[in-house]
A and B are shown apart, each in its own frame.
Chain A
Amino acid sequence: MAVRIQRTAFDVSKEISNFSTKLGASGAIVTFTGIVRNESGTLDHIIIEHYPAMTEIALKNFTEQTIVRFKLEDAFVIHRYGILKPTEIIMMVATAAPHRQDAFAGAQFLMDCLKSRAPFWKKEVSGVQEEWVKARAKDEVELESWEHKFN
C-alpha cells in the first residue's frame, strides 16, 4: 500500500508496471487516472491546494479501508498539487485483486472517498478570472451509497 502527494508529474504506465511486479495473488489491476479538463475551452490552469498534515493520513486511511473491504492484494494513490495545465494528469489510483469485480469496485470506492473526503481543493484560472471549483452533491451521494451496500 502506498500513497504519494507530489507537485511533480508522474508516468502512469511506469507506476502500473512497478505496482504489478510486486503482486502475486492478483489476476486483475484496475486503474483510474484523473486529468485536468477544459470544458469551456478558456481554462489556463488549475491550482490544487491541500492540507499537508491531513492529506497523507486521510489517503492512507482510505486506501487501507479499501484493501480490507474489497479483499484487495494491494492498492495505491498518487495525487498532485500546485499548478496544472489542461490535459495534465492530476491523480491516479490502482487496485489489484484476484478477480476483476473486487478490483473495479475497490477503485470506485477509493475514488468516491477521495472526491468527498480527501482535503484537496481546486481553483480554475481563466485569464484574470479565478474560481474555486464547487463540490458536487452527487459525489457525496455516491460515497454515502456505499454505506448502504456494506450495511
Chain B
Amino acid sequence: MKIKILYFAWVREQVGRSKETVETNASTVAELVDELICRDAAYGAVFKDLSQIKVAVDQELSDLNTPLIDVLEVAFFPPMTGG
C-alpha cells in the first residue's frame, strides 16, 4: 500500500523533506519506523530516541502500536509547543 508521510519542525529538518509517499507493507507505525530506519541513515538519527517523537495517523494523535489499516497519511513530529 502507498502511505503519505509528513514531517514537521526539527524532524522535517533532519529528514531533509516535508513529505514523501512510500510503498510499504508495515502493519503498525512501529513497523513503518523500522522500514524507514533501514532505508537511510538520516531516519536512524531522527528515530533514535522515540520518546522525542510524536505520531499522528490520518490526522489523529496516535502511537507506535497504532495499526496502519486503510491509512492514507502518517505524520511524525516532536512534542508540540503551541499556545
Enumerate chain A residues within 8 angstroms of B79, measured Cβ to Cβ. 116, 134-135, 140
A51-B6, A57-B60, A117-B61 given; 6 more Cβ-contact pairs under 8 Å: A53-B59, A54-B56, A58-B61, A79-B83, A132-B81, A135-B79
CB distance from A94 to the nearest CB of B (A): 14
- Count residues of chain A with CB under 8 A from any CB of chain B: 28
Task: Confirm or deny: A120 has a beta carbon within 8 angstroms of a beta carbon on chain B.
Answer: yes
Asked whether A133 and B77 contact (CB < 8 A) given A119-B56, A121-B9, the answer is no
Task: Confirm or deny: A82 has a beta carbon within 8 angstroms of a beta carbon on chain B.
Answer: no
Enumerate chain A residues within 8 angstroms of B77, measured Cβ to Cβ. 51, 119, 121
What are 24 A-B pairs at a CB distance below 8 A? A49-B9, A51-B6, A51-B77, A54-B59, A57-B60, A58-B59, A79-B83, A114-B83, A115-B83, A116-B79, A116-B80, A117-B80, A118-B82, A119-B8, A120-B80, A120-B83, A121-B8, A121-B9, A121-B78, A122-B81, A134-B79, A134-B81, A135-B81, A140-B79
Taking CB atoms and an 8 Å cut-off, the chain A residues in 110-151 that contact chain B are 111, 114-123, 132-135, 140
**Contact of B82 (CB < 8 Å), options: A53, A91, A140:** A91
Task: Confirm or deny: A27 has a beta carbon within 8 angstroms of a beta carbon on chain B.
Answer: no
Residues of B bordering A, CB below 8 Å: 6, 8-10, 56, 59-61, 73, 75, 77-83
A132/B78 in contact, CB under 8 A: yes
CA distance A58 to B8 in the complex (A): 16
Enumerate chain B residues within 8 angstroms of A133, measured Cβ to Cβ. 81
Enumerate chain B residues within 8 angstroms of A34, measured Cβ to Cβ. 83
B82/A115 in contact, CB under 8 A: yes
CB distance from B53 to the nearest CB of A (A): 12
